[in-house]
Amino acid sequence: MNEWWRGGVIYQVYPRSFSDSNDDGVGDLPGIIQRLDYLADLGVDGIWVSPFFKSPMRDFGYDISDYCAVDPTFGTMADFDALLAKAHALGIKLVIDQVYSHTSDQHPWFKESRSSRDNPKADWYIWADARPDGGPPNNWISLFGGQAWSWDSRRKQYYMHNFLSEQPDLNFHNPEVRAAIIDVARFWLERGIDGFRLDVANFYFHDALLRSNPPKSDNGGFDRPYWHQRHLYDRSQPENLAFMAELRREVDRHGDLMTVAEIGSDSYIARSIEYTEPGRLHTAYNFMLLENGPLTAGLIRGALESWTSDTAWPSWSFSNHDVERARTRWGGAQAGDAFSQMLMGLLLCLRGTIFIYQGDELGLPQADVPFDRLRDPEGIRFWPDSLGRDGCRTPIPWHGDQPNAGFSVTEPWLPVDPRHHALAVDRQEADPASTLSHSRRFTAFRKVHPALRLGSIRFIDSPEPVLAFERRDEASGETLLCLFNLGGEEAQCALPAGTWHDCDYGLPGRIEGDRAILPPWGGLVLRA
């Protein structure tokens, strides 16, 4: 098999905010079609499209009421087919999000399940009687706050939800549920997609005995109640791995495709490896580089060196639709374009499959969204301690001098940050020094260097804030030395013995004798 995804670059499209084709203020599938040439010019191997399925939109598409229908907000199934056809014509693979752990409470499955205790789908969701004191069956907590159990007056039982109460969890212990989910996967596989991104892939199964989670002595700096428990029983159950293998077998029947798991776990790397060992999923990304900071050489080195498996393949991303954009999270409010360019240059030199979140190729900072414009239920629930996920989900700026940065004439579903106008696509395309121009060069550079796509990685001791590592591809014999200054002052480091040639990667840096001179946020890629 070609394994196009191994070492490839995949661009995440959050469709509500990517491109609006009909000026209703919400992005859509025809809008993505209109911008596919832009993504082809960026040089990505594939795109991952976040949910566009029929949904009440309580969690903006991650609460699905029909897995096999396109929500009218985003277009039609014909639009999806056209998107798939054009992407393939441009040589771009199309990966779609699959949300299997839970549905919307408006899904016909749940409506039937909650109607009685003896209907054909009565056991398709996780139901439990109240304790003698009327409380829920255990202490499980929702990630979005409060108990992970809601009372249903029709069945006079509690149902489980790891997220919103409008997102009831499916009961994967029921073989009929597993079969139904495989049928959903088969529907899209037969339509010709190139792979799945599996939302919260380690959340599908729960402990059948409904045992309470024990407390955790260290919450890792997170102050929400969810992080005060050791999640031994409400996620990452051993039965889940068998289902991953079953799903993988179905995917493999349809050609050279890929599956990537989103892993939410305290054991970031170990859990990701567990889910991507042979026979399970192709790759996985986790939140080690999405939640933690500050940005140091030790953080990046620790993450990649923790991936000790020779058989499981990693994926890495610095941003996505659930976390603060990396430019702001790691660089602060004062971070400039040089910082964004260094981040993109670094990401595209790492070993693994690389995921770029829409807007990071432009160097967008986290948007400021006032409280009265917040749409994210998580952000509203935890305000003012957290502004939630809206700040990373605002519309992509296409034209700097147009209203709403050219996203739509109508006021968009989230406001465009005024700072984003100056970073609009049309302004950056004309500037060879822009972050967009750098991003295009970085992706092109990765594509032609087998050491970056497929090679090994070996870190070289260097004082902070310099991150130094060697990428080597045995098949081609190519060796590259990658040096990055993660700090705001000039840094120097000694070069390993040998003769090194500057590959003109595009970041500021130079060789002086046997030393590398790295300006603030600078970098070098050298060839042996």
Asked if the peptide bond before residue 214 counts as cis, ω within 30 degrees of 0, the response is: no
Rounded-to-integer distance, Cα 322 and Cα 392, Å:
8
Cα 96 from chain centroid? 12
Nearest in space to 179 (alpha carbons), one of 112, 237, 120, 250? 250
Instruction: Write out the two tokens for 449.
Output: 């260097």
Which is nearest to 102 in space by CA: 158, 164, 12? 164
Residue 138 token pair: 């255990």
Give the per-residue pLDDT at 221. 62
CA distance 499 to 518: 18
Q: Shortest CA distance to 62 belongs to which of 148, 166, 140?
A: 166
Of 199, 376, 390, 473, the catalytic one is 199
Give, for 235, the enclosing helix (H) or strand (E).
Answer: none
Q: Do the beta carbons of residue 467 and residue 483 sit within 8 Å?
A: yes
Asked about 262 being catalytic, the answer comes back as yes
Q: How far is the C-alpha of 419 from the C-alpha of 321, rounded, in Å?
A: 19
Give me the phi and psi of 271, to 5 degrees please. -70, -40
d(CA 339, CA 354): 19
Extract the tokens encoding 509.
């840096």
Do 364 and 331 contact (CB within 8 A), yes or no?
Answer: no
- Residue range 455-527 in CATH 3.30.2010.10: no
Determine the Cα–Cα distance for residues 129 and 374; give it in Å rounded to an integer: 36
Which residues are CB-neighbours of 267 under 8 A, at least 6 positions away? none
pTM above 0.75, yes or no: yes
DSSP string, 354-381: EEEETTGGGTPPPPP--GGG---HHHHH
Active site residue 66: no
Which residue has tokens 């985003």?
74
Q: Identify residue 5 by its one-letter amino acid code.
A: W
Q: 9-103+174-445 with 455-527: one CATH topology?
A: no
Q: Return the amino acid letter for 53.
A: F
Classified as helix, coil or strand, 330 is: helix
Residues 6+ apart with CB under 8 A from 93: 4, 5, 10, 45, 46, 47, 87, 194, 195, 258
How far are the Cα atoms of 33, 201, 283 from residue 276, in angstroms, in the given order? 32, 11, 5
User: Do 479 and 460 contact (CB within 8 A), yes or no?
Assistant: no
The ranges assigned to domains in the chain are 9-103+174-445, 455-527
SS3 label, residue 68? strand
Q: What are the contacts of 436-441 at 24+ separation with CB within 8 A?
A: 436/361, 436/362, 436/363, 438/341, 438/344, 438/345, 438/506, 438/507, 439/42, 439/341, 439/344, 439/356, 439/360, 439/361, 439/362, 440/41, 440/42, 440/43, 440/361, 441/505, 441/506
Contact 130, 210 (CB under 8 A): no
Q: Is the CB of residue 456 less than 8 Å from the CB of residue 351?
A: yes
pLDDT value for 329: 96
Cα-to-chain-centroid distance, residue 428: 25
Structure tokens at 443: 């992706």
Which run of H or of E encompasses 428? helix 425-429
Q: What is the CATH number of domain 9-103+174-445?
A: 3.20.20.80
Catalytic residue among 262, 324, 390, 417: 262
The one-digit pLDDT tens for each residue of the chain (528 residues) are 789 999 999 999 999 999 999 999 999 999 999 999 999 999 999 999 999 999 999 999 999 999 999 999 999 999 999 999 999 999 999 999 999 999 999 999 999 999 999 999 999 999 999 999 999 999 999 999 899 999 999 999 999 999 999 999 999 999 999 999 999 999 999 999 999 999 999 999 999 999 999 999 876 666 788 999 999 999 999 999 999 999 999 999 999 999 999 999 989 899 999 999 999 999 999 999 999 999 999 999 999 999 999 999 999 999 999 999 999 999 999 999 999 999 999 999 999 999 999 999 999 999 999 999 999 988 888 887 776 899 999 999 999 999 999 999 999 999 999 999 999 999 999 899 999 999 999 999 999 999 999 999 999 999 999 999 999 999 999 999 999 999 999 999 999 998 999 999 999 999 999 999 999 999 999 999
